[in-house]
Structures are given as structure tokens and as C-alpha cells.
């Protein structure tokens, strides 16, 4: 029976944390240059996903900061406005570059699912932004943390539901 374990990836090494038959005693094994099957693919794909999302995040960040400062909009509303502009560009990045799923299923369905998911990502970002603001973080730091944390959640759903590639 395989032992449950957690993998920590550190540059080119992977540390496997398994549990021995002793109660709660961890066993450590280091496998040089070994990354578990599937994890390498997800790490690479997340890097590409993050690159595309970074373009959107820069737009989100810039528009949010400018609209809040010069138009007097609340940061949450300004972030929503920014996401309207960035979501379409990011969708096409992910469809054509990150997941290479263009042409595999109906574009309109994926686009609609992505835009609806973007609304939920916006709500997550806004809640995080308000929460970080309530604990006293400056807007610039609160916004960066909100965008970064939501990116991880966004990747998980996008890779498994919206841009799921068909095995062929």
C-alpha cells in the first residue's frame, strides 16, 4: 500500500515527505532531479498561465490604481472595471498559448465560462482586497496580494474545467 506523501519542489530537487508506520513520524527522502509525474507538467503550465495572467494583472493593477487615485473610484469598483478590459485578452492567451485548446471545443462556450469565472475571480479579489485593507495593508500591497492569491485559485479551476484539453 503506497504511503501518503507531500512533495516539496525545490529548484531541481524534490523532497518526498512520507509517513512511516510510526505514528506521525515523517520519513524524508530526497530524490535529485526527480519531480513526480504530472507535477512537472502542471508547474510548467502554471508558469505559462501566470505569464498570461501577469499581463492581465498589470492592466488590472494600473487601471485600479489610476481610477482610484484620479477618478476617486473605490478600489473594488475600479478593479471590476479593470478586469472587464483584461479578461478578454487573457482568455485568448490561455486558449491559444497556455492550454493550446483552440479549436478543440466551442469557443463561445469557453469564453462565456471564462467570463463568468472572471466575475467570481473578481469577487474573490475584491473580498481579499477589502480584508487586506481592513488589517491595514497599503493599497498597493493589498492589491498585489489579492491578485496573486486569486491567480492560484484561477489556475486550478481554469485548467480543470474551462480549458480542459481533450485526450486524443
What 3-state class would DSSP assign to 135? coil
Which residue carries 493589498 as its cell? 142
pLDDT at 51: 86
Cβ atoms of 52 and 88 within 8 Å: the answer is no
Structure-block grid coordinates of residue 127: 473580498
Same-domain status, 17 and 79: no
Nearest to 86 by CA among 45, 108, 115: 115
pTM (2 d.p.) = 0.59
Domain that holds residue 27: 1-36
pLDDT in tens, 66-121: 999 999 999 888 888 888 888 888 888 888 888 877 666 678 888 898 899 888 98
55 falls within a domain: yes
57 falls within a domain: yes
167 falls within a domain: no
Torsion over CA: 14, 19, 22, 23 (sign): positive
Same-domain status, 59 and 75: yes
Band (142; pLDDT cuts 50, 70, 90)? very high
Same-domain status, 105 and 116: yes
Q: What is the mean pLDDT of the chain?
A: 75
Band (137; pLDDT cuts 50, 70, 90)? very high
pLDDT at 72: 93
152 falls within a domain: yes
Which residue carries 475584491 as its cell? 126
Structure-block grid coordinates of residue 45: 503550465
Please determine, for residue 148, whether its predicted confidence score (pLDDT) is greater than 50.
yes
- Give how many domains the chain has, as a whole number: 2
84 falls within a domain: yes
126 falls within a domain: yes
pLDDT in tens, 12-39: 333 343 333 333 334 444 455 555 656 6
Instruction: Say which residue, 85 or 168, is predicted with more confidence.
Output: 85
Give the number of other CB atoms < 10 A from CB of residue 159.
Answer: 18
Contacts 24+ apart (CB under 8 A), 108-112: 110/162, 110/163
Cβ atoms of 79 and 129 within 8 Å: the answer is yes
Same-domain status, 77 and 141: yes
Conformation bin of residue 38: beta by default, left when phi > 0, alpha when psi is -120 to 50: left
168 falls within a domain: no
Same-domain status, 64 and 132: yes
User: Which run of H or of E encompasses 16?
Assistant: strand 13-19
Same-domain status, 48 and 21: no
In 3-state terms, the chain is what percent helix, strand and coil (to 5)?
65, 10, 25
17 falls within a domain: yes
Which residues are within 8 A (CB) of 73 and not within 5 positions of it... i.e. 6 or more apart? Answer: 67, 81
Same-domain status, 82 and 10: no
pLDDT at 18: 39
Amino acid at each position: 500500500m503506497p504511503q501518503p506523501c507531500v512533495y516539496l519542489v525545490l529548484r531541481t530537487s524534490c523532497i518526498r515527505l512520507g509517513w512511516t508506520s510510526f505514528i506521525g513520524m515523517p520519513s524524508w527522502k530526497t530524490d535529485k532531479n526527480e519531480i513526480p509525474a504530472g507535477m512537472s507538467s502542471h508547474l510548467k503550465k502554471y508558469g505559462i498561465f501566470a505569464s498570461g495572467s501577469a499581463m492581465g494583472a498589470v492592466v488590472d493593477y494600473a487601471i485600479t490604481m489610476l481610477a482610484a487615485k484620479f477618478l476617486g473610484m473605490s478600489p473594488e469598483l475600479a478593479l471590476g472595471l479593470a478586469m472587464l478590459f483584461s479578461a478578454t485578452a487573457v482568455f485568448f492567451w490561455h486558449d491559444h498559448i497556455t492550454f493550446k485548446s483552440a479549436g478543440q471545443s466551442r469557443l463561445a462556450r469557453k469564453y462565456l465560462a471564462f467570463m463568468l469565472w472572471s466575475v467570481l475571480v473578481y469577487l474573490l479579489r475584491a473580498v481579499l482586497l477589502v480584508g487586506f485593507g481592513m488589517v491595514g495593508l497599503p493599497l498597493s500591497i493589498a492589491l498585489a496580494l489579492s491578485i496573486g492569491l486569486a491567480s492560484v485559485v484561477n489556475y486550478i479551476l481554469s485548467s480543470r474545467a474551462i480549458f480542459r484539453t481533450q485526450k486524443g
